[in-house]
Amino acid sequence: MKARIAASAALALGIALGASGCSMLTYQATTEHYDASDGVSVDVGELDLRNILIVSDDGVDGTLVMTVVNNGTEDVDLGVQFGVGGGETVDIEVEAGSEVVFGVDDIEGTDTVEPVVLEDIDTLPGAFLPMYFQYGSAEGVEKLVPVLDGRLPEYKRLVP
């Protein structure tokens, strides 16, 4: 009798492990962060920069598209440096506790601003533009930002 109970318990344990063991040992891709859009994302201090991309048809001038969320309690001037070897710098004001969308207009619940046109990016569509984001004493972050063209309807109106 005891042998039957032990055998039944062992069999039940074996079935349970066999049925769920894969998720215990297999890599779970859903635990990894990824950008579900065309742009890239980066965090700089208290700022969350999301879906960063450049739209340009000629690779000379490009429109900066991104969303900046200031999670802090102070206004900041975000410095955006672009180009190989440092290049140009653009300063962008972001108020405390705000979400600002650059390059896109009429999004309910967010502040939208005039497009930021980066001149002389010297990066053809399909390539990546090195960009450096930093403000105040927060540690800056360098990121390779994709340059897209205006072939897609949602980007056509963003071409400078």
Segment 41-78, tens digit of pLDDT: 999 999 999 999 999 999 999 999 999 999 999 999 99
What CATH number does residue 49 fall under? 2.60.40.1930
Note whether 84 and 14 are same-domain residues: no
Note whether 84 and 138 are same-domain residues: yes
pLDDT in tens, 4-55: 787 777 777 777 666 665 666 677 777 777 777 889 999 999 999 999 999 9
Q: How confident is the model at residue 107 (pLDDT cuts 50, 70, 90)?
A: low
- Burial-class residue 66 by CB neighbours within 10 Å (0-12, 13-18, 19+): buried
The number of folded domains in the chain is: 2
Note whether 92 and 137 are same-domain residues: yes
Q: Which domain holds residue 27?
A: 2-31
pTM: 0.75
Note whether 52 and 120 are same-domain residues: yes
